[in-house]
Structure formats: C-alpha cells, structure tokens
Homo-oligomer: A and B are copies of this chain.
C-alpha cells in the first residue's frame, strides 16, 4: 500500500528525543553539542577550550581536536560562542564568546589546569543537557545555570544567577577557534544604550577575509561596563588622556578586545541575552534579532526551535531498535546542520567579491565542504531537502558569478574560498541536482560554470590533466587522487550535457572521464603516480597515505575510486572474481599502525581492515561488490560498517562527521541504498538497518521502506520488491523514490550467494 499522506497532515512523532548532540564530541567526530536550528547561521555552543594555533611559533597539534570548540573529556567551559562547523577537519569561527560569572572580574579565560586563573568554570556532564535546539549546563564555579537556544540568525542565552552584587557577563571578542595570534584583524563595538550593543568582528582565519556583524541585547540593563584591549602594539592616541576608554566608554575598537557588563543579581535571577549575527551590517543583525525573536520568552523560542527540528526529523519516520533510532536521528540531525544559511532576513548577504548582494528568489547558503558532501549529503538532500538543495546549487552559482576567478566553490564559507581538499566537486552536486531534475535555475548557465571551472589550467594540475590525461607526479603531490577525482567530476559534467542534449560536450567530457585509466598501473593492479615521461613512479607504497600521490587516503582505498564506471574498473582489475577478492583483501587486511599514525582525521576505530571509513574516498567502496556480482558482500560490509563506525555515544563516530557526509552515509545505508555515483539517477542497494521507514517528501508523496525479518543476524537481502515488482539488479532509480511508493526487502540470515 502506498501512503500518500502529505507532510503537513502527518502526525508528528517526538523524534527529537532520539537525537543526542553529544555523539561525536569525543575522539574524531568533531561535532558540537550546542543549540542550533536546522541549517542555522547561529550555532550557539560551549567552548571547553580555545587553544592557540601556535605555541612559541610552532604548530600546536592539540588545536586540531578543538575544531568544534568542545571536547567531551574536558572539565571546564570557557564560554558559549555563536558560530561553529559541524564535524570538520580544519576549522575557523567560534565568534563572540559569552561567559557569565560572579565575583571578582577576570578578563582572561585561564587554563584548564587552573580554572581559577581566569573566567572559565568547571562543569560536569551530570549537569549538562544537549538536545536539538537546546543546550544547558551548570557552571559549577559560579553556581550559574546556562541555557541556550537559537533561531536561524539569533542565539538566545538564559543565565540563572545566584545573588550577587558582582555579577558579570563577559563578551570575549578575541576568542576564536583555530586562533592565530594575528587572526583578529579588527573589532568594533558601539554601546547603543544600557542594554544594547552592536558591532563587528573581522578575522583572517581559514577564511581569509571575513567579517561578522552582531547585535547583542540584554534583558536587564547593565549597571556598568568596560573593556580591555589586549593588543600589545596599540597606536598611541591623544584621547587616552581625554577619556578613560576602559570604563563606560561606548565607542570601542581594536584587535584584541574583551568586554564585560556588570550587574547586581538576586537569587535565581535570570538574565537573558539575544545575540544576532549578520554577514552584512550591524543594522541587519539588529533587524534579524527583532524579526526572529521579538520578545523575551526563552521557553517559546526553545519550543519553536525544537518544533522546527521535530518537523525536519519527521521527514523520515522509522521503526528500529532504540539504539539504532538514536544513531539514525542523531545522524539525521547532523545532516541538517551544514551548509548554513548565509543571508539576512532581508535577503542580503556578502558575496565573494566582498560586495553586498540581494538573493533573488533563493536562500543563500555557505559552508560548502564539497569534497566530503558531494558524495552522500547533497544526494540525500535531493530526496529529503530538495528545495534547500536547489537553493544550495543557486548559492554555488552565486559564488561562481561573484568570484573573480570564475570558479565554482571548492570549500567555501563566509564569502571566502578556502581551497581545501581536491577536485572540483561542485560539478557533481550540480549534476546530481540537474539529472534528478531538482535545479530550478538555468541549467545551461550551470553547465557553463562547470565547464569553466574544469578548465582552469593553472589550478592543481588541470592544464597537464587536460593535455596529458593525467597529472605528472613531479607537478603535484596528490597527482593520482586529483586525476581520479577530475575524471569522476568530468563524468558528472558529461551527465549534465547529456541531460541538456549537448552531445559534443557530453562526448568531450566522457572522454575526459576515462583519464583514471592513465594512472592505473595494470602491472600491479593499483592506481599509481605517473611521471612526466609517461612511466610510473618507481618508488611507491600502496599502503602509505603520505607522499604517494593521494590526498587523505592511500592507493588501496583510492584504487577503487572510479564511481562513474565500476564495470570498466572491474575489467581492468582482472574481472569480477579478482576484483571481489581485492575488495575482500581490503576489508580484511591488517593495516600496520604506521600508516595512519600521522593522519589527523581518523582514529583506529575509523578503519576496517584497510578500508578507511573515517575518510571519504572509500565511502562508495562497499557497494562495489554489487557490480562484481557479489551483492551479499556489500550487504555484509554495509551492516558491519553501520555497526562499527556509528555508536550512540560521545565517542561514537569513527572519523570527522565532515559537515554531515558521514551521517548522510549512515542514513542512506541504513535505509538500504546509496548513491555510488552522484550525477547518476541510480542508487545501489545494500542492507537496510531499519525495520521500516517512511520518507515524507516535499512533493507531498511518501516513500516507504520495509525490511521484513530484518535483525542483527538477518542482514542478507533475499528479495526486493518495488511497488510489488521484483528488483533484480540491486539498483533503484531516483524517480522511483520521488514518485512515492514502497520498497520491500525480505531479509535472511543466509546470503543468497
């Protein structure tokens, strides 16, 4: 029976209760536990430390752990800041750290070893609660209860104080994540009146040229305020003798500023703060605040945030054991955090040209970690968040149009191109949207942008790639993975051309998409760096991830990276049998410690044999058994990865969640299928982990998945029926889902080998 219940009239379950934002906050997950709404620009979350990127001029390796600001194992909190990445392996942000205190004013954060040396406070997980759209914690050193919620562009703080004549709220404007000494470019603050301040913070961090404007309003007037500028190299100014700038002086500017606002509080008195941000101006920040939270009702805002989450989570209703429900809905939660809205309530945003633009008929997004998210996150959005994904493609097109280089984004946030990781995978996101008929912009222009991006000869070996069909190892340290990724991306461009009936372009790019063959060394059966003269690099290690021509991966993992043509890969690797044996070896081999000791992104737990799930290049690999005629091995490996790599605990994620890519892999795989090659309209079938799932689509249709007899043991697929018709090739089509209908798996303990 096909359920045709429209989204609006469906009965919402309470699904937020299955989300545990603390999952991934320990080890390598790099998620944050704080309060945000889906895709919110504000992610208001505690920082347990704000390490400096350098110690005595040398890179501080510990800083990597603090990509999301919060480590579950830490014992102190330094404050609550308003912007975070979810699950990244490089970082930035952490803007506008707010901390309530009582007692003697301290304007430095102090150290974890000696919390009393600064304004930080001890806390314990017993007094901590993390929910979608809500976070609370008791700050033990001050006996202050901190509660946080948010709207899209506004953080809402509620601090319950003890009685004190000496209560403070600190606004640390120099604190940040991945904090270089010179990261703070400029800060400006104006105290508008005794309960409102506005200003901006400008940083030179991972994003090179970035400014966030803010408006901060207090529910109670402060009785006094002040600031200290920690910049050692301040310019002398005549007015230092005319004004005491540090106390009650309303015009504040400098590079390293911390402010304080002073109150007298009664026992259990609540002081609330609304903190709005904008990429454009102080005025827009204030307008965002007033439009999104016009009153001082914390509970109301919290309820709205949680209802918002519940509505989004209810887009997929599942039946599964409690543990799996927690994993599933926490993963779903994590897929709905990045990209983030990057636009004021009036439609304005700052473009890559550093000019102010108005988004015409779309919502502008930022935080595109595309090397990660083109694989499963954006394909997942094409099913469950099609409107948002359409807007994200439009945002990527705006990036292209406004960027002097005229390139689609690689890794972009806050009007900056960070140039992180490889390939030009925007084209895969665009192809996936166009092929799946989920792009309402002009597809011809999108194709043109893809073509222009793929022909930037000066970028990472593209010139050589075009001329020679591969990137010579002498020219580029990641010559093999680049060649492989470009070849896949070119195939994606070809799919757009095909959809638009552009045969010449299709043929040209299909030819380019075969370039992976140029770095395949048939003599060893692996992808291998090729040097300028056309011969393979002699000195070569298929296990190492360093200096072998691959980015975040070794040849073992990357040799399977031909998602656009597994059939041909199987052929060159010696046929289906040999190929399957090679996959078997990957999943069972012992990878010596030395080969991931230096890799920041993954922990030992992120690895199964030689298969590295904690990094993305192999995310499609377990599905390749399907193409080799051994689908039962796909089924077994998928279930194994789902079990091993995702656990409902703070240390439950086997690698960086990478803006939701790891979580999107979980959602797809637990539903029973996966987009091996985004840009294709096909999904490859695995082994569903749910008993039942109902996808409530934006088009009003529903798609149900039932896994009959599914259990921890019954992991093998005996039979599949789509709308009553048997599915034999372990493939389902995107339109089969979007048209609504029912997919039934019959599960068994025995493989159908």
Interface residues of A (CB under 8 A from B): 180-183, 185-186, 188, 190-192, 198-200, 202, 204-205, 208-209, 233, 235, 237-239, 241-244, 250-251, 253, 281-283, 352-356, 403-405, 417-420, 458-460, 477
User: A237 to chain B: which residues have CB within 8 Å?
Assistant: 208, 419
B250 touching A405, Cβ below 8 Å:
yes
A209 touching B238, Cβ below 8 Å:
no
User: A352 to chain B: which residues have CB within 8 Å?
Assistant: 251
The CA-CA distance from A209 to B237 in the complex, in Å, is: 13
The CA-CA distance from A353 to B243 in the complex, in Å, is: 19
Q: Which of A181, A192, A352, A458: most chain B Cβ within 10 A?
A: A458
Q: Which residue of B lies closest to A460 (CB)?
A: B242
The CA-CA distance from A199 to B250 in the complex, in Å, is: 30
User: A419 to chain B: which residues have CB within 8 Å?
Assistant: 237-239, 242-243
Given A200-B354, A419-B242, residue A188 in contact with residue B205 (CB < 8 A): no
User: A198 to chain B: which residues have CB within 8 Å?
Assistant: 353
- Tell which of B204, B235, B460, B477 touches A180, judged by Cβ atoms closer than 8 Å: B235
User: A185 to chain B: which residues have CB within 8 Å?
Assistant: 185-186
Given A238-B420, A250-B404, residue A355 in contact with residue B281 (CB < 8 A): yes
User: A420 to chain B: which residues have CB within 8 Å?
Assistant: 238
Q: A181-B233, A183-B235 are in contact. List 13 more A-B contacts (CB 8 A).
A: A186-B186, A190-B353, A190-B354, A190-B404, A192-B404, A204-B235, A208-B237, A239-B417, A239-B418, A242-B419, A244-B458, A251-B352, A251-B417
Q: Which residue of B lies closest to A209 (CB)?
A: B253
Given A243-B459, A282-B354, residue A253 in contact with residue B191 (CB < 8 A): no
Q: Which residue of B lies closest to A459 (CB)?
A: B242
- Tell which of B205, B253, B404, B417 touches A235, judged by Cβ atoms closer than 8 Å: B205
User: A281 to chain B: which residues have CB within 8 Å?
Assistant: 355-356
A283 touching B355, Cβ below 8 Å:
yes
A282 touching B182, Cβ below 8 Å:
no
Given A242-B460, A243-B419, A354-B282, residue A182 in contact with residue B403 (CB < 8 A): no
B251 touching A403, Cβ below 8 Å:
yes
Given A182-B235, A205-B235, A208-B253, residue A458 in contact with residue B243 (CB < 8 A): yes
Going nearest first, the 9 A-B pairs with the smallest beta carbon separation are A239-B419, A250-B404, A190-B404, A209-B253, A242-B460, A251-B404, A182-B233, A208-B253, A185-B186
The CA-CA distance from A205 to B234 in the complex, in Å, is: 10
18 inter-chain pairs at a CB distance below 8 angstroms, sorted by A residue, are A185-B185, A186-B209, A188-B209, A188-B354, A190-B353, A191-B404, A192-B404, A199-B354, A200-B354, A209-B253, A242-B459, A243-B419, A243-B459, A244-B458, A251-B403, A251-B404, A251-B405, A251-B417
A208 CB, nearest partner CB in chain B, Å? 5
User: A182 to chain B: which residues have CB within 8 Å?
Assistant: 233, 235
The CA-CA distance from A233 to B57 in the complex, in Å, is: 10
A278 CB, nearest partner CB in chain B, Å? 12
